[in-house]
C-alpha cells in the first residue's frame, strides 16, 4: 500500500486543509481523507495530513506502508534527519512517531508534481470548508 499526504495553507498562516489518500497495488485509490483545519501554517497542515494518513492506515489494520509527501521539512523531521526547532512541531512529530509504533513505515520525499492526488484533496478541503469531508473509503 502506498499513501500520499499534503497540507495546504492560503497564507502562512491562513486557511488550511489536510489531504491524504492510499492506493493499492493496481494504482486504484482505496481511501481518501480531506479536512479543513481552520487557520494554520503550511507546516502544521502538512503534519495534520501525515498524522491523518498514519491513523487511517492503522485503522485499516495495515502494519506496513510506504508514505510519500512533498514536504522535505516534514519528511526529514519525521525521519529524524533534521532537528525540529519549533516546539509545536515537535509535538506533532511525536504524535506521528507514536502512531507509527509497531508499524513499518517508509516515509519518502517526492517532488510536488508527483503528489497531485493529496494536493487536490488538501485544496478541496479549503474550497469546501463549509462541507467538510473526512475519511472515505472509495
Residue 136 falls inside a structural domain = no
Residue 138 falls inside a structural domain = no
What span, in angstroms and rounded, lies between the C-alpha atoms of 88 and 117? 27
Residue 17 falls inside a structural domain = yes
The residue with cell 519525521 is 78
Note the pTM of the prediction, 2 decimals: 0.93
Per-residue model confidence as pLDDT tens digits over 32-45: 999 999 999 999 99
Q: What pLDDT band is residue 96 in, cutting at 50, 70 and 90?
A: very high
What span, in angstroms and rounded, lies between the C-alpha atoms of 29 and 137? 9
**Which CATH number does the domain housing residue 63 bear?**
3.30.420.10
Residue 86 falls inside a structural domain = yes
Structural domains of the chain, count: 1
Residue 120 falls inside a structural domain = yes
Residue 73 falls inside a structural domain = yes
What span, in angstroms and rounded, lies between the C-alpha atoms of 52 and 84? 20
**Which residue segment(s) compose the domain that 84 sits in?**
2-131
pLDDT at 27 over 60: yes
Amino acid at each position: 500500500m502506498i499513501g500520499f499526504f499534503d497540507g495546504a495553507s492560503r497564507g502562512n498562516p491562513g486557511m488550511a486543509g489536510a489531504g491524504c489518500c492510499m492506493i493499492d497495488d493496481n494504482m486504484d485509490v482505496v481511501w481518501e481523507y480531506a479536512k479543513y483545519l481552520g487557520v494554520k501554517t503550511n507546516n502544521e497542515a502538512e503534519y495534520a495530513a501525515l498524522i491523518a494518513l498514519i491513523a487511517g492506515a492503522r485503522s485499516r489494520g495495515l502494519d506496513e506502508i510506504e508514505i510519500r509527501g512533498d514536504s522535505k521539512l516534514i519528511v526529514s523531521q519525521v525521519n529524524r534527519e533534521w532537528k525540529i526547532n519549533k516546539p509545536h512541531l515537535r509535538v506533532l512529530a511525536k504524535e506521528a512517531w507514536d502512531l507509527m509504533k509497531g508499524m513499518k513505515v517508509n516515509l519518502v520525499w517526492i517532488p510536488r508534481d508527483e503528489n497531485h492526488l493529496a494536493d487536490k484533496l488538501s485544496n478541496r478541503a479549503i474550497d469546501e470548508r463549509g462541507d467538510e469531508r473526512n475519511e472515505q473509503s472509495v
